[in-house]
Amino acid sequence: MVKITYITFSGRAHVVDVTPGGTLMRGARDNNVPGIDADCGGACVCGTCHVYIPPDWQARLGKRTEIEEATIEFSSDVKENSRLACQITISEDMDGLVVHMPETQ
């Protein structure tokens, strides 16, 4: 289990334990963390699991995938550190990861 902190737009932190191997999106959806809609369930077709990655984690999580790059166009307020949570697979070394959510999905 690794600890992941999801911070909503209003600043509320949700700390959940996520099993490595799943995705950052599933970690939120399975634990009923509000603010990550993930309408398509990780098919990378809806862009509603948009999160911001803090600078110190960006390099470790890597760049957007090609399909993610296309889909993230659907999200609002996309920034340089935007990612789709369904495209990030949780690994053991992600313990302590903190992500921020946009105002709307």
| Chain contacts with other proteins (rule: CB under 8 A) | 29, 32, 34, 37-43, 45-48, 70-71, 73-76, 104-105
The rounded distance, in Å, linking the Cα atoms of 5 and 94 is 11
Q: How far is the CB of 92 from other proteins (least distance, A)?
A: 25
Pick between residue 76 and residue 89 the one whose CB is nearest to other proteins. Answer: 76
Considering Cα of 50, then 55, then 61, then 63, what sign does the dihedral take?
Answer: positive
Q: How far is the CB of 32 from other proteins (least distance, A)?
A: 6
Pick between residue 2 and residue 16 the one whose CB is nearest to other proteins. Answer: 16
Q: How far is the CB of 8 from other proteins (least distance, A)?
A: 11
3-state helix, strand, coil in the chain (%, to 5): 30, 25, 50
Q: 16 forms bridges with which residues in the sheet?
A: 4
The rounded distance, in Å, linking the Cα atoms of 55 and 59 is 8
| Stated length of the chain | 105
Pick between residue 61 and residue 83 the one whose CB is nearest to other proteins. Answer: 83
Pick between residue 44 and residue 88 the one whose CB is nearest to other proteins. Answer: 44
Q: How far is the CB of 70 from other proteins (least distance, A)?
A: 7
